[in-house]
């Protein structure tokens, strides 16, 4: 793992949370993105070298809606940047971690993502993130 890529925060209202966090950080969000496959809208802030991702549920059955219903708003996950997500998944499985996504999926902010189950990480949902690289156009 290279660094903390972002910290995900579950919120009831992206609009209200953006206002609050803009005041807190003294900076505006740089991106809003809908991830329909996850039932979530996201908003990203850049604070130094770290991103903060706000997550708002768009469906009652989304993981964020379930999280908020159970625990309320707050820190949802910590994401780590990795160079090779498939190799990292295999490494972590061999170390005994429970992987929720054995095959990475497309996430927000141009990333391939996979999660580790919090029961294997002291109650913290861990996300692995790898930048999706566009094919080289070298000729």
DSSP codes of every residue in 33-84: EEEGGGTEEEEEEEETTEEEEEEEESSTTSHHHHHHHHH-SEEEEEEEE-S-
* Region 110-128 average pLDDT: 96
pLDDT in tens, 2-23: 999 999 999 999 999 999 999 9
Round to whole Å and give the CA distance between 30 and 25: 12
pLDDT in tens, 32-77: 999 998 999 999 999 999 999 999 999 999 999 999 999 999 999 9
Angle at 133 between CA 132 and CA 139, to 5 degrees: 160
Round to whole Å and give the CA distance between 1 and 18: 29
Round to whole Å and give the CA distance between 97 and 110: 25
User: Does the pLDDT at position 118 exceed 60?
Assistant: yes
* 131 phi and psi angles, rounded to 5 deg: -60, 135
SS3 call for 101: coil
């Amino acid at each position: 793992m290279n660094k903390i890529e972002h910290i995900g925060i579950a919120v009831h209202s992206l609009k209200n949370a953006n206002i609050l966090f803009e005041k807190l950080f003294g900076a505006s969000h740089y991106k809003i993105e809908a991830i329909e496959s996850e039932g979530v809208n996201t908003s990203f802030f850049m604070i130094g070298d770290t991103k903060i991702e706000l997550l708002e549920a768009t469906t009652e059955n989304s993981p964020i809606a379930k999280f908020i219903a159970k625990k309320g708003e707050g820190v949802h996950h910590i994401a780590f940047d990795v160079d090779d997500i498939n190799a990292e998944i295999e490494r972590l499985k061999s170390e005994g971690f429970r992987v929720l996504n054995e095959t990475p999926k497309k996430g927000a902010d141009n990333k391939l993502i996979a999660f580790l189950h919090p029961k294997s990480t002291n109650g913290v949902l861990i996300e692995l993130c790898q930048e999706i690289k566009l094919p080289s156009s070298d000729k």
